[in-house]
Structure 1
């Protein structure tokens, strides 16, 4: 017995919608992974900034991101430009904990990355003489320099 073509098309469409819906929602595993990344980064609060640093002895901005992700078993590139190129671009309003926020400093020359925590905050390793800290992304200094949000995780 053969089904009418319209019934087959409707069934295939519904299956596609169901599968597409599953793929677009973060699974509990993905949420746990994001939480692990964020908690690891938060555990580095107060650590010193160190250019080229990528461990608790000292971090630069991309080193903090790489460390937090690697502690969760996710390999990401070491430098900010490569981290920026490694993911999917989103708007800031779509940011989820664990997404990367990129900023431009030094009259357009320097690229800076922070890890979005949720609730309008990020953690980052700011500059020489400073420590890993939290900032509000809506503050004027960060709003003015914002470039884009990058998602490395599903």
Structure 2
């Protein structure tokens, strides 16, 4: 799907989600920031993965998060583990667009982060040789490695 199509789908999704609510309600004052995070993240679809990358020329997962949040004026730490510690843990069922999802693939703690889009989808900078993608949160591959959802914004 092209970036412009993702943006249109994201806007429709955000309007739908505005009427929904989970058990942990985010501060409505951040709704505009959350929308901007989702749109910025979707704008990175197809960009290359690059270990240590923090720009559109190439991202690793935490570099993507840091870049996207910076574009909307929110400062987050650089590494996945620091980003995990920067917010408060929430249930995945309470995640809203812009929250962060953390995974462990090595079995030695957090080593991957993605940006939740809502509607059970997230933006990932997955691995060398791949590009930034949207993936279903409840796909078996991602569920198997899921650790935490974290809210950075209030």
The TM-score bracket by the shorter chain reads 0.7 to 0.9
Runs of 4+ residues deviating >6 angstroms: none
Q: CA deviation at 1:111?
A: 1.0
Alignment partner, residue 56 of structure 1:
56
For 1:62 and 1:102, the matched residues in 2 are separated by 10
Instruction: Say which SS state the counterpart of residue 68 (structure 1) adopts.
Output: helix
**Cα separation, partners in 2 of 1:149 and 1:58, compared to 1, 3 Å:** same
For 2:70 and 2:84, the matched residues in 1 are separated by 16
Q: State how many pairs are aligned.
A: 130
TM-score (norm: length of structure 1): 0.81
Aligned residues: CA RMSD: 1.2
Residues 1-154 of structure 1: pairs in structure 2 closer than 5 A: 26-27=27-28, 29-108=29-108, 111-154=111-154
Alignment partner, residue 6 of structure 2:
none
Segments of 5+ residues of structure 1 without an aligned counterpart are: 1-23
For 1:25 and 1:38, the matched residues in 2 are separated by 15
Q: CA deviation at 1:97?
A: 0.3
Q: CA deviation at 1:106?
A: 2.3
Segments of 5+ residues of structure 2 without an aligned counterpart are: 1-24
Q: CA deviation at 1:61?
A: 0.1
For 1:73 and 1:64, the matched residues in 2 are separated by 14
